[in-house]
Structure 1
Amino acid sequence: MKEENTKSVTPERILQVGMGFWASKTLLTAIKLELFTHLGDQKLSSQEIKQKLGLHGRGFYDFMDALVALGFLERDGIESSATYGNTTETSLFLDKNKESYIGGILEMANNRLYRFWGFLEEALITGEAQSEVTRGEKPFFEELYADEERLNEFVSAMAGIQMGNFVSFAKKFDFSHYKTLCDIGGAGGFLCAQVAMLNPHMQCMSFDMPVVCKIAEKNIKHMHLNEQVKIIEGDFFKDSFPKADIITMGNILHDWGLKDKKLLINKAYEALPEGGAFIVIENIIDNDRRHNAFGMMMSLNMLIETPEGFDYSFNRLKEWTEEAGFKQISSIPLTGATSAAIAIK
């Protein structure tokens, strides 16, 4: 490398990413302490915050002002004379008292994923998951399904993360040639709800386990969509899929190994009529595997979380759908790293 070129190269990006867990843990801790919820739409003094959160004086101002520097808090004054408030962003998305709260997924990141990602090296060496089961603990979803309140919070948290994608999909996809849709693993029913609200001619079904269907039924009733959205109980591995013009799966395929992925794709094919659409909404990796870093890190998360799950590129999905009998596949971008892949029977 020429000397003039090396002078302009700095290690800044390497250090920023390598030490990125500092910023991540600072934000996740603030969410765990419910700092943004305590602040709400008001400003509180340093002393008020310290008392509400039960924090020691040592490190307090460093913690609070790091959040200011990171862009997650606003501040007037300094140290003992300071008052702090939420930014527009944290007020909207990290205040538990607002329906737009998305902190549930970040609470899970703090409580579960943060420690499990500490075993990434072991996962890469062994190819084995590093979540609760590997560590001799009770499986996360087994505990979750046994606690209705926690399950409701989890489903709502997942919906908060995906809602932008559901709205984008409901607006961008051309539903004019279709009348019915079934969302496999429909969770809280929110994908069906968005499709129904934005496409009044559509009749939708949300298909999931009985314990999850109870939550979906409440959500759909609350949104007054009972006439357009039906909740159907079932196990997508054991039961046949309901017949529909469109079969959707949002963040379902990446949980499973290749054999199970192909099984679910084949079941979707069988449930569709000629000309029907199978639509996968996930963080599909770009074919060159150079740009969608989030998709590839999500696949690493599947390595850590699941026995066989992984994310995949559009071309790999195209290969699997063609093998199942689908004639063509295309994609539309949604929000962030997410896209919808559309396979036509």
Structure 2
Amino acid sequence: MPASSLTMRWPLSPEPLLKDALDLWSSRALAAGQHLGLFAELGKGPRTASRLAALLGLAPDATRDLLDALLALGWLQREGDDADAVYVSTRTSAHFLDPRSPGFMGELLMAARQPLTGPDDALLDDALRLAGPSGRSGLPPPPAWAAAQALVRERMASLHGEALAQWPSWAALGQVIDLDGAGAHLACAWAARCKGRQPGFAVVRPAAQLPLVQAQVQAAGQASRVRVLAGPVDGLPPGSLAGGGDAVVLSLLLQPLAAAERRARLAQARAWLAPQGRLLMVDLLADTARREQVPALVFGLAARMIGHPHGVLTEGELRADCQATGLRDAECLPLPGGACALVAERAA
């Protein structure tokens, strides 16, 4: 990702915890590749993602998510960056994970996977197959996963709100409008960490969500700083916010959306911007070439596992969405936990 013109050091960061949490997902991705025959097929020679999908009976898009996650984790190599890119095993994976190799140790993966084998592992395997996630295509994630996803969004939103409050370039903001920051968590954390001149904060949610969001604002002790307003998030600002936001926050974190859905949400957020306002799109983004950013690539694969039809979002894809919705993107601000905020404003 392009380096921001500013650099920040966070006094506390969840990276060590995130790494340990991702280790579980990473090991499942590796075991899934072994179980589905990926390394055995690559032992026969380089393959494109589409070729591997056809040979192994896997869904093409999900196959690329798996391959690029394993690439970022260091288990595969890739030549090229487009749809014709060719994947090959590394020396290590070829030696230890190809069943034809005399050094094959894939049984260790399967043995370690066996005690964990259950619905979660079946979902990951099925998500990579053409049949879709356990025949659940189009259905919401299991309740336990949905609850965990919501909780992670809330915790990360608080971290990101605290981080955004520390950026000097936001010190002169007059009004911050939060259209999707995991309830009121991002706005409350931002307001609590602001020093000196305080921008006004407004959290706009559909009427049905107001009681929960108001309770969060009260619990955070930010009722005097953060307004909670009912309003269609897909319409123009209500009268009290008629001037729009100097900053409008839209969190896409852990919400895999198709391109049409993302662009619709960006167009909605654009309507809330003041003339010189800036839109902050928060997400775990993979680099455009999908070679790095392990958290984004692994979480994208995990999203497929819990039933989402779309995986990782790249920085290039989000920038293209901005251009398609009349936004001019600028810098990517790094945030704790491997996320970033892509900043955009109205195109001239």
Query: What TM-score do you get using the length of structure 2 for normalisation?
Result: 0.57
- Relative contact order, CA 8 A, sep 6+: which one is greater? 2
Q: Distance in 1 between matches of 2:203 and 2:108?
A: 39
Could you tell me which of 111, 119, 124 is aligned with 1:120? 124
User: How many matched pairs?
Assistant: 243
With over 3 angstroms needed to count, the CA separation of the structure-2 counterparts of 1:19 and 1:327, relative to structure 1, is same
Q: Distance in 2 between matches of 1:162 and 1:18?
A: 35
Q: Distance in 2 between matches of 1:306 and 1:6?
A: 33
Matching residue's letter, 1:310: G
SS of aligned partner of 2:344: strand
SS of aligned partner of 1:342: strand
CA contact (8 A) 1:187 1:212 kept: no
Q: Distance in 2 between matches of 1:170 and 1:289?
A: 30
> Does structure 1 residue 164 correspond to structure 2 residue 192?
no
Q: Distance in 1 between matches of 2:236 and 2:282?
A: 21
Matching residue's letter, 2:205: D
Q: CA deviation at 1:191?
A: 0.6
What pairs with 1:30-41 in structure 2 (closer than 5 Å)? Answer: none
Q: Distance in 1 between matches of 2:111 and 2:288?
A: 27
CA contact (8 A) 1:330 1:341 kept: yes
Matching residue's letter, 2:343: I
Partner of 2:301: 300
Q: CA deviation at 1:315?
A: 1.6
> Does structure 1 residue 270 correspond to structure 2 residue 271?
yes
Q: Aligned-pair RMSD on alpha carbons? A: 4.0
Partner of 1:322: 323
Q: Distance in 2 between matches of 1:259 and 1:183?
A: 22
Q: Distance in 2 between matches of 1:249 and 1:181?
A: 11
Identity across aligned pairs (percent)? Answer: 13
Q: Distance in 1 between matches of 2:210 and 2:225?
A: 16
Q: Distance in 2 between matches of 1:17 and 1:291?
A: 27
Partner of 1:215: 212
What pairs with 1:16-55 in structure 2 (closer than 5 Å)? Answer: 18=109
Partner of 1:33: none
Structure 1 residue runs without a partner (length 5+): 27-113, 145-149
Q: CA deviation at 1:179?
A: 1.1
Matching residue's letter, 1:176: A
CA contact (8 A) 2:141 2:306 kept: no
What pairs with 1:73-222 in structure 2 (closer than 5 Å)? Answer: 115-126=119-130, 128-130=132-134, 139=140, 158-172=153-167, 174-199=169-194, 200-222=197-219
CA contact (8 A) 1:116 1:130 kept: no
Larger C-alpha radius of gyration, 1 or 2?
Answer: 1
With over 3 angstroms needed to count, the CA separation of the structure-2 counterparts of 1:304 and 1:293, relative to structure 1, is same
Partner of 2:280: 279
- 1:118-149 deviations in Å (ceiling 9; x for gaps): 233433333845586767xxx459x79xxxxx
With over 3 angstroms needed to count, the CA separation of the structure-2 counterparts of 1:133 and 1:207, relative to structure 1, is farther
CA contact (8 A) 2:178 2:250 kept: yes
